[in-house]
Amino acid sequence: MKLSIYRFEPESGNPPRMQAYEVRPEAGDKKLLDLLMRLRVQDDSLSFRRSCREGVCGSDAMNINGRNGLACLTALDGLKEPVVLRPLPGFPVIRDLIVDMTQFFAHYHSIKPWLINGEPLPERERLQSPAERERLDGLYECILCACCSAFCPSYWWNPDKFIGPSGLLQAYRFIADSRDTATAERLDFLDDVYRLYRCRTIMNCTEVCPKGLSPSHAIERIRLALLRRSS
């Protein structure tokens, strides 16, 4: 299979370039990551992140033939050749396919991704009804791979101010949680031209989410919650 991969070596002082590769998939190679691992044997200078190789850790997010995805979940079958691999768009590149996620995680932290509950601790755990628990479906599964935020033009233009689809999905995950009592503060924080309202609902986020989640739907719910609160 032919590949064309974005290379950037910071020590060399050279600008990024595309490098052509050719590698023969072997029996049992199903996903793009399998091929990348073979490439590394060929060229051990090629750098990318990976860990669990099954779509749970979220570290091998990259731009694959113009769309963001996880290499470990992208099937080799049906991939157009040469397979063009680039780092996540709009993120500073540290080396080859490895990007700097500092800002992305800063946005995640800004939405306080933990349960806030000022009420006295119950003797046992805080219980949820099955219906309350169900409201977290489609939200809690996010693995923070950044495929969505790095495919969102609003995030590209204002990466320092717009929280981005991933952070907003996480924000709604805590707004929707029956055990969290800080909904009002969370909504106050989000009611801002930049943090929430840069979203124009083009749904690029939902298009590329490797976990099949819909950040745009979460954003829609946040906007409606804000609307309900102020009316």
Partner 1 sequence: MRLFDGQRAWVIQRISALLLLVLIMLATLALPFAVPLDFSAWRAFAGGALGGPLIALLFGALCAHAWVGMRDIVLDYVQPRGLRFFVLSLIAVVLLGVLVRVLLSLAAVALAA
Partner 2 sequence: MDRHSRRLPMFLNLAQIRFPVGAIASIAHRVSGVLLFITLPVIALLLDASLRSEDVFASLRKLLSSPLYVVAATVLVWALVHHVLAGVRHLLMDVGVGSELARARASARVVLLAAPLLALLFLVWGLS
What CA–CA distance (Å, rounded) separates 168 from 74?
Answer: 25
Query: Rule CB under 8 A: is residue 106 a binding residue for partner 2?
Result: no
Query: Rule CB under 8 A: is residue 134 a binding residue for partner 2?
Result: no
Residue 23: CB atoms within 10 A of its CB come to 17
Contact (Cβ atoms closer than 8 angstroms) between residue 32 and residue 74: yes
What CA–CA distance (Å, rounded) separates 109 from 166?
Answer: 11
> Which member of 2, 194, 201, 229 binds partner 2 (CB under 8 A)?
201
> Which member of 114, 194, 202, 224 binds partner 1 (CB under 8 A)?
194
Phi-psi region of 78 (alpha: psi -120 to 50; beta: other; left: phi over 0): left
Query: How are strands ordered across the β-sheet holding 17-22?
Result: 17-22, 2-7, 83-86, 61-64, 67-70
C-beta of 25 vs 153, nearer to partner 1: 153
> In the stretch 139-178, what mask flags binding to partner 1 with x, by CB under 8 A?
--------------xx--xx--------------------
- H/E segment holding residue 91: none
Distances (CA, A) of 156 to 69, 123, 227: 17, 46, 27
Query: Rule CB under 8 A: is residue 83 a binding residue for partner 2?
Result: no
Say which DSSP state 31 is in: B
**Interacting partner of 230 out of partner 1, partner 2, none (Cβ under 5 to 8 A depending on kind):** partner 1
Contact (Cβ atoms closer than 8 angstroms) between residue 70 and residue 77: no
Q: Which stretch binds partner 1 (CB under 8 A): 12-20, 28-36, 40-48, 197-205?
A: 197-205
Sign of the four-CA dihedral 209, 7, 85, 50? negative
> Which member of 55, 87, 138, 167 binds partner 2 (CB under 8 A)?
87
Shortest separation between residue 139's beta carbon and partner 1, angstroms: 22
Shortest separation between residue 218's beta carbon and partner 1, angstroms: 16
The footprint of partner 1 (CB under 8 A) covers: 153-154, 157-158, 191-194, 196-198, 200, 223, 226-227, 230
The footprint of partner 2 (CB under 8 A) covers: 6, 8, 10, 15-16, 63, 65-67, 84, 86-94, 100, 151, 153, 156, 200-204, 206-207, 214, 216-217, 220, 223-224
